[in-house]
Chain A
């Protein structure tokens, strides 16, 4: 199972938007609507920000949104804030009770 492909880095100024892509195959991202996204600050445990492609857990601001087209899922963070600076990982169900993580993207708020 190969890791999903994410850009190593993304950046934006406060108030702007940043979109992170997560590219897989028809066996994972493209085959199921079970993509989730996690935010990880240095030295901290990951935090769920999007699940089932587009759903936000309680407590996550609506500045975070998810989408999917074909084999690529995306996370958009709008109205960037300093605290959004973190690593972001996607993950997808890959069939046969397996999951696969993305390679991770470091988001910098300029």
Chain B
């Protein structure tokens, strides 16, 4: 069955970077886009961007451009999201999700990784 298993919770200082991993199993990793979405405490969902695991091509939403990097390692079916220059506003649960067959929705989600930014 399709599974996306993410790395554990992280606590970071302001100004630091964080890298979250997302290991896929149960399907062909290179056949489906991986989206990254975040949710701040008590807030709504926010789309950050996506990566094509086959080509490595990425699109980042304007808000995070220059601060986010999405990569993948096809040999271990794992996608990564790195966010730099963290502030307290970046405290959130970061989730990876698999793009659906047509690409314009997500059908499976990781369990989420809590990133807390505090001095």
Contacts and interface: CB of A to CB of B under 8 A. Distances in A.
Q: Are these two chains actual partners, yes or no?
A: yes
Contact of B100 (A46, A51, A89, A100): A51
Interface in B6-47: 35, 37, 44-47
A46 B102 CA distance: 19
B20 to A, nearest CB: 15
Interface stretch (B71-79, B84-92, B106-114): B106-114
Nearest to B100: A51
Given A97-B59, A98-B59, A99-B35, A3 B44 contact: yes
Looking at chain A, what size class is its interface with the partner chain?
20 to 34
A91 B50 CA distance: 14
B45 A101 contact: yes
A45 B105 contact: no
B116 interface: no
Given A98-B59, A101-B44, 10 more contacts: A1-B61, A34-B102, A36-B105, A38-B45, A45-B111, A45-B112, A47-B109, A57-B107, A98-B61, A100-B47
Contacts of A101: 37, 44-47
Interface residues of B, number: 22
A46 B105 contact: no
B61 A89 contact: no
Given A1-B61, A97-B59, A91 B47 contact: yes
Q: Nearest 6 CB-CB pairs, A to B?
A: A34-B104, A36-B105, A97-B59, A45-B109, A51-B105, A104-B44
